[in-house]
């Protein structure tokens, strides 16, 4: 089992793999077409062959797509499970607690001299 920082690093790596316009186009094509030949991706994107290969490797080493060689062609497809896991995790990570958050108190970092919260700070401002 991964510790917390390693898990975050892994998720960051996966998100980073998606965080590129060309790679977003690629996964969009794979989503729309299913198993897709590299040559087709190449034709649709209009960049160099080496560049496409590099981007496909980034996505693959993040575990987001898989490849299958058939004859002299290579077909790529989404790893649906990994992508679902990622989007699900992200949703959970961003969801936080449903309620009671905005009203809870958080001590500020100043050495105990001024316990502070958003509400308390607001109150100060409203008085002033």
Kindly list the residues in this chain that would bind its own copies in the complex (CB under 8 A). 5, 8-9, 11-13, 15-16, 18-21, 23-25, 27-28, 30-37, 39-40, 42-43, 70-71, 73, 75, 78, 83, 87, 90-91, 93-97, 101-104, 106-110, 116, 118, 121-122, 124-125
The minimum distance between CB 28 and its own copies, in angstroms, equals 6
* Cα first-last separation, the chain: 51
Pairing, β 36-37 against β 65-70: unpaired
Alpha helices in the chain (DSSP H): 4-18, 21-33, 38-45, 49-61, 80-95, 118-127
Q: Which does 26 bind (CB under 5 to 8 A by kind): DNA, its own copies, none?
A: none
Cα–Cα nearest to 83, from 61, 63, 60: 63
Of 38 and 83, nearer to DNA (C-beta) is 38
88 or 121, CB closer to DNA? 121
- Shortest gap between Cβ of 90 and its own copies (angstroms)? 6
Nearest C-alpha neighbor of 56 from the set 67, 47, 48, 46: 67
89 binds, among DNA, its own copies, none (CB under 5 to 8 A by kind): none
Per-residue burial over 21-45, b if 16 or more Cβ lie within 10 Å, else e, is eebeebbebbeebeebebeebeeee
- Where does this chain bind DNA (CB under 7 A)? 16, 20, 22-23, 37-39, 42, 47-58, 67, 69, 71-74, 108-110, 125, 128
């Amino acid at each position: 089992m991964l510790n917390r920082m390693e898990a975050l690093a892994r998720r960051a790596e996966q998100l980073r793999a998606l965080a590129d316009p060309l790679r977003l186009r690629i996964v969009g094509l794979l989503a729309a077409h299913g198993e897709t030949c590299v040559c087709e991706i190449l034709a649709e994107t209009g960049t160099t062959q080496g560049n496409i290969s590099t981007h496909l490797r980034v996505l693959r080493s993040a575990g987001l797509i898989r490849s299958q060689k058939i004859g002299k062609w290579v077909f790529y497809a989404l790893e649906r499970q990994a992508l679902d896991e990622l989007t699900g995790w992200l949703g959970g990570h961003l969801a936080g607690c449903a309620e009671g958050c905005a009203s809870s108190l958080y001590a500020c970092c100043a050495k105990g001299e001024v316990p502070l919260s958003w509400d308390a700070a607001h109150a100060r401002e409203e008085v002033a």
